């Protein structure tokens, strides 16, 4: 619970201070919505919603379940859901809600910017496995340690290795780092198979520098859109690393 409290406090501060993370939240959500549209998604589960649940941005589902352990975020999701009978909001962690979640069939599960925050990623993935059918598609994304801005920091001598914790990560008390190889390995160890993997948003500089460039009008929304698409030329070096997976037979 202490980690949840620390995380929520820092998350809320980022939003209130209009830090660059608010831009990244929108970019991540765009990627999620793009991937959901490619697969059946009558029954959707979102694991962790922050202050802006995904059900506020899509509508073509039959039932949407959001599970959120942080009280403040849970209450925000309940308010956003209103009296919609097609939305259920659960105040719990994935690992502790397995009995309830196993009763529900899910076509598509979203876990965006979560895996690196949990104390035991393997346990999280095995819990995820337990609520999936063979046909369930799972979307996961995490920060990419092979992001362009980390590689630049390494070459400049600002960090000693790509997995070195950044100032932002120390603020949040983040547990884990993932590159493509590490993420695919832990997915396979948890008995999932890979459907697809990709990175998105080529971020040249750390968040504080990106935010300052926006404030100074050095970059703008057109620049951000171009950076989001630029990973087709640098497929391994986007700031976000995403996978689509399903359980093995």
* pLDDT tens figures, 18-45: 689 899 999 999 999 999 999 999 999 9
Q: Tell me, what's the pLDDT at 15?
A: 65
Share of the chain above pLDDT 70, in %: 90
Instruction: Give tens-digit pLDDT for 69-101.
Output: 999 999 999 999 999 999 999 999 999 999 999
Residue 231 near residue 147 (C-beta atoms within 8 A): no
Strand 137-143 relative to strand 108-112: parallel, antiparallel, unpaired? parallel
Q: What domains are defined for the chain?
A: 2-247 (3.40.50.150)
Residue 6 near residue 26 (C-beta atoms within 8 A): no
């Amino acid at each position: 619970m202490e980690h949840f409290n620390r995380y929520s406090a820092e998350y809320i501060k980022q939003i209130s201070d209009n830090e660059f993370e608010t831009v990244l939240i929108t970019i991540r959500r765009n990627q999620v919505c793009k991937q959901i549209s490619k697969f059946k998604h009558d029954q959707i589960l979102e694991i962790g919603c922050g202050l802006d649940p995904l059900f506020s941005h899509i509508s073509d589902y039959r039932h949407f379940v959001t599970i959120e352990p942080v009280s403040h975020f849970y209450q925000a999701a309940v308010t956003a859901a209103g009296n919609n009978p097609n939305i259920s909001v659960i105040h719990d962690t994935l690992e502790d809600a397995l009995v309830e979640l196993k009763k529900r069939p899910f076509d598509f599960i979203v876990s965006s910017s979560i895996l690196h925050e949990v104390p035991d990623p393997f346990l999280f993935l095995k819990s995820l496995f337990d609520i999936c059918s063979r046909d369930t598609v799972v979307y996961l994304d995490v920060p990419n340690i092979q992001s362009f801005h980390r590689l630049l920091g390494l070459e400049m001598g600002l960090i000693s290795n790509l997995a070195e914790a950044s100032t932002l990560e120390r603020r949040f008390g983040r547990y884990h780092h993932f590159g493509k190889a590490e993420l695919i390995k832990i997915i396979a160890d948890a008995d999932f198979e890979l459907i697809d993997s990709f990175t998105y948003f080529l971020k040249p500089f750390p968040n504080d520098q990106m935010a300052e460039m926006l404030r100074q009008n050095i970059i703008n929304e057109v620049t951000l859109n171009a950076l989001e698409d630029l990973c087709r030329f640098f497929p391994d070096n986007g700031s976000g690393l995403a996978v689509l997976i399903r359980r093995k037979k």
